[in-house]
Amino acid sequence: MMAELWFAIASLMLVAYVVLDGFDFGAGALHLVVARTDAERRQLLSAIGPFWDGNEVWLLATGGVLFLAFPRVLASGLSGFYLAIFLVLWALILRGIAIEFRSHVENPLWRAAWDAVFSVASTILPILFGTALGNLVRGLPITEDGWFSLTLFTNFSPWGPVAILDWYTVSAGLFALLALTGHGAAFLVWKTDGPMRERSRTAAMRLYMLVATAWPLLTAATWWVNPRLFAAFQQRPLAMMSALVALAGLAALAAGLRRQRDGLAFLGSCAFLIGMLAATAACVFPTMLRSVVNEGWSLTAYNASAPAASLDRGIRWWAIGLPLAVIYFVIVFRLHRGRTSIGSGDGTY
Amino acid sequence: MSDSLLWHRLQFAFTIVYHYLFPQLTMGLALLIVIMKAIALRTGDLIWNDAARFWIRIFGITFAVGVVTGLPMEFQFGTNWARFSSFTGGVIGQTLAMEGVFAFFLESSFLGVLVFGERRLSARGHFLAAVALFIGSWLSGYFIICTNAFMQHPVGHDTGPGGVLQLIDFWALVLNPWALAQYAHNMAASVVTASFVTMSAGAYYALQRLHVDTAPRFLRLGVIAGFVASVLVAFPTGDTQAKLVARHQPVSLAAMEGHFESGPAAGIVLIGQPNVRERRLDNPLVVPGFLSLLAYGTFHSDVAGLDQFPEDVWPDNIELLYYAFHVMAGLGTMMIALTLLAGAAELRGGLMRRRWLLWMLMLAFPFPYIATTAGWITAELGRQPWLVYGLFRTAQGASQTVHSGTVLFTLIGFAGLYLVLGLLYLYLVGRELVHGPSATSQTHAGSPAAVAAHDG
């Protein structure tokens, strides 16, 4: 029972991370497109400024929860993807520094350089995260003792000697970039005004058009690469409900964008991401790191969890801590409600 | 020691030492900012509010670097120390996850409020945001120290199914006596860092005859907080810590002091170089009896020397451990003396006139950084050869699937990236320092000026 619960908690926190940090990644990927003047770029940074750091904490908190509940998954996964993880870390470091340091110096070259760093890092990160998710769905060369290590690429096939990059995982990475950029655009439509809002609306419509086209294709590819998921999907009501949430999200997004109900559109975008990821989690359960060598060697919520005593102690403080975190987020979002305009920032960004 | 273990250790050591240069300032500054805002709120002295805003800007830059250099720390448990993580996740995963859930969310949320919210909040609301940030950053320190304390002095656990550790007693882990002493010691040191930086900025302005209203305030706050905190670092917190080391890690104490032979009335070494091959201290200058006093409270207690322990439990770098400990203790003493001197001068009303003293205060800010780094090197090298003291050796903990050349590659990558980060940080803080605290330009929500500005 505890293993199921912690699997749900870890999934929930990861979904929260993607939805929250996703919008500031997306805004970053669009930074050079929708924000053209220095004033507009400061407007964009002011829109995500109060949130991005708190959003990133969900990644650390998810890592912490994996460490406490599924230490073997954390250990095997992070060491197996060693170089890729450092790529993610360096991109996160440069991106955070770009956001915080850009507006401190009034020099066009300084600012242009950091704008480029921010935008490139924000584009690379969704691709990396999407590729990582693709790897988990496809499976990893986990050996009998529970460890693996992956090369960057072999023959780009998701079968046989697998590697980090193949056509399936790269597609997942690109899909993540499309979806999160669309999500970021929907956030900017909701939280900014003026020309940026209009450009973001156009971007959101086009991007989500692509997402809606690519989604069924990627789903079909997923079932081809990991047929078990299809069987699981048919048997698990939670997975089907989640897929419906994602569909409803797309519909709400389209309606919201068309009728200028920006809050609804952003909520729809959130629902799409939540539904899609929740459906994935519901289908893969209990597998966390799938072995392509032998299904029996996969690390699952049952065989890779921490001892029951630890899971039991952990749930008690988690049940107090998480509501607190949610309260802080509500306070911050309430305090920074409304749209950011050009020149409305207080000079920090 | 295999090559790859050395690189794993060096990478963690380098990234953690570098990372901690930033939080040691922000945690201490969080307290000083609360104090400045509290004085402003009580006395209505707006210069203190300007001072607080100046330090909040420095805080923001420092915090950003602290956040981004902190990210790799959490991930390296998995990437570089995978076998250690598998073994201990059931226990230290708890404190690390608690740091994220209880501390980082609070900290990151309210830093935004503090930086962005001054115009949206009342003066009291803005003060409360500073308090929330203080609580968040000090909680984060507690959970990370709790994690380290478990590695130094494991409590509250036993061996669960599969031979890995499990948590039995939550409160024993969270209230580990080692953690309490280490936390008090470390946080006092963090206040010393922030005080010395504040003092140094004040002395710089005083020497330049700039910001004549703020400079004496920076100096006074820095000297008082710096004196109180550096005394607290030595006594009772450092003293308690030493007694815990003597009781639970006697071999580390012997190595810290280069104490090769056991015996009563052990002396404390002021100067000397450990010569491990010959098992003696070269050219020692010793104060008799004081090591016995420090460790056990009397001048003639027996203090076990390294000769009492098998070599396979000796810390594996006795020389560095010895030097680190002595650098820490020496600088700690000097910092007490310096703040005492400055305090005495201020009491006689002459700190601002004694330029030689201002010069010393201005140049003294690296001392707490060096002392803190040396202190952590002492703690971590003293724990060797164990990752979890007495339970799990360092050599067992590193990731097996990662090749040594790969670790060296990422280590070099960090060295380059962090060099650039450090230069950028110094450049931006330098600019803030040159710009200096500016007079009140921002007003709080609801105040007449804010309403007028809004209507206008």
Average pLDDT of the segment spanning B365-384: 96
Q: How far is B256 from chain A (nearest CA, A)?
A: 33
Tell me the average pLDDT across B242-264. 90
pLDDT of residue B455: 33
Instruction: Read off the amino acid at residue B46.
Output: L
The pLDDT of residue B439: 66
- Is position B327 within any domain? yes
Mutating which of B12, B101, B396 best tests the A interface, going by the most A Cβ atoms within 10 A?
Answer: B101
B418 and A CB contact within 8 Å = no
Interface of B with A in 207-266 (CB under 8 A): none
Cβ atoms of residues B322 and B382 within 8 Å: no
What is the pLDDT of chain B when averaged over all its residues?
90
Q: Do A89 and B75 touch (CB under 8 A)?
A: yes
Burial class, B240, CB count within 10 angstroms (exposed 0-12 / middle 13-18 / buried 19+)? middle
Min Cα–Cα distance to chain B from A102, Å: 11
Q: Does B105 contact A105 at a Cβ distance shorter than 8 Å?
A: no
**Count of pairs with CB atoms under 8 A, one residue in A, one in B:** 234
CB contact under 8 A, B91 and A310: yes
CB atoms A97 and B442 under 8 Å: no
The reported pLDDT for the residue numbered B2 is: 67
Task: State the pLDDT at residue B298.
Answer: 86
Q: Which 10-49 residues of chain B touch chain A by CB within 8 A?
A: none
Q: Name the closest residue on chain B to residue A64, using Cα atoms.
A: B97
Q: Is 0.90 topped by the overall pTM?
A: yes
- Taking CA–CA distances from A143, the nearest residue in chain B reads B401
- If you average pLDDT over residues B38-56, what whole number do you get? 91
Cβ-Cβ contacts under 8 Å, A313 against chain B: 94, 167, 170
For B305-347, write each residue's pLDDT tens digit: 899 999 999 999 999 999 999 999 999 999 999 999 999 998 8
Interface list for B 153-182 with A (CB within 8 A): 160-162, 164-168, 170
Q: What is the pLDDT of residue B380?
A: 96
Chain A residues within an 8 Å CB radius of B426: none
Q: Is residue B237 part of a domain?
A: yes
A93:B417 CB<8 A: yes
Q: Is residue B74 part of a domain?
A: yes
Contact at CB, B93 and A67, closer than 8 angstroms: yes
Predicted confidence band at B450 (pLDDT cuts at 50, 70, 90)?
Answer: very low
- Interchain pair A149, B424: CB under 8 A: no
Mean pLDDT, chain A cut into blocks of 10 residues (349 residues total): 92 96 96 92 91 92 94 95 94 95 91 96 96 94 92 86 92 96 96 93 95 94 90 92 95 94 95 96 93 92 92 92 92 86 70
The residue-averaged pLDDT of B212-240 equals 94
Q: B445 pLDDT band (50/70/90 cuts)? A: very low
Q: What is the CA radius of gyration of chain B?
A: 24
Per the CB < 8 Å rule, is A335 touching B120? yes
- Does the CB of B435 have a partner CB in chain A at under 8 Å? no
The owner of tokens 């990422």 is: B410
Is B120 within 8 Å of chain A by CB?
Answer: yes
A75/B82 touch (CB, cutoff 8 Å), yes or no: yes
By the CB < 8 Å criterion, does B140 face chain A?
no
Is there a domain that residue B353 lies in? Answer: yes
The shortest CB-CB distance from B406 to any of A57, A76, A82 is to A82
B-chain CB neighbours of A348 within 8 Å are 60, 115-116
Tens-digit pLDDT profile for residues B122-166: 888 889 989 999 999 999 999 999 999 999 999 999 998 888 999
Among the partner residues A96, A316, A332, nearest to B67 by beta-carbon distance: A96
pLDDT score recorded for residue A348:
67
State the residue range of the domain holding B445: 3-246+320-455
d(CA A30, CA A181): 7
B421 touches chain A (CB under 8 A): yes
pLDDT tens, B392-432?
999 999 999 999 999 999 999 999 999 999 999 999 999 99
B454 pLDDT band, cuts 50/70/90, is very low
Nearest residue in chain A measured CA to CA from B78: A75
Give the distance from residue A286's alpha carbon to the nearest chain B alpha carbon, in angstroms: 19
Q: Do B64 and A79 touch (CB under 8 A)?
A: no
Question: Does residue B157 belong to any structural domain of this protein?
Answer: yes
A310:B93 CB<8 A: yes
At B274-285, the pLDDT tens digits run 888 888 888 888
Chain B interface test: which of A43, A82, A333 (most B C-beta within 10 Å)? A82
A321 to chain B: which residues are within 8 Å by CB?
98, 101-102
- Going from N- to C-terminal start, the domains of chain A cover 2-335
Domain count, chain B: 1
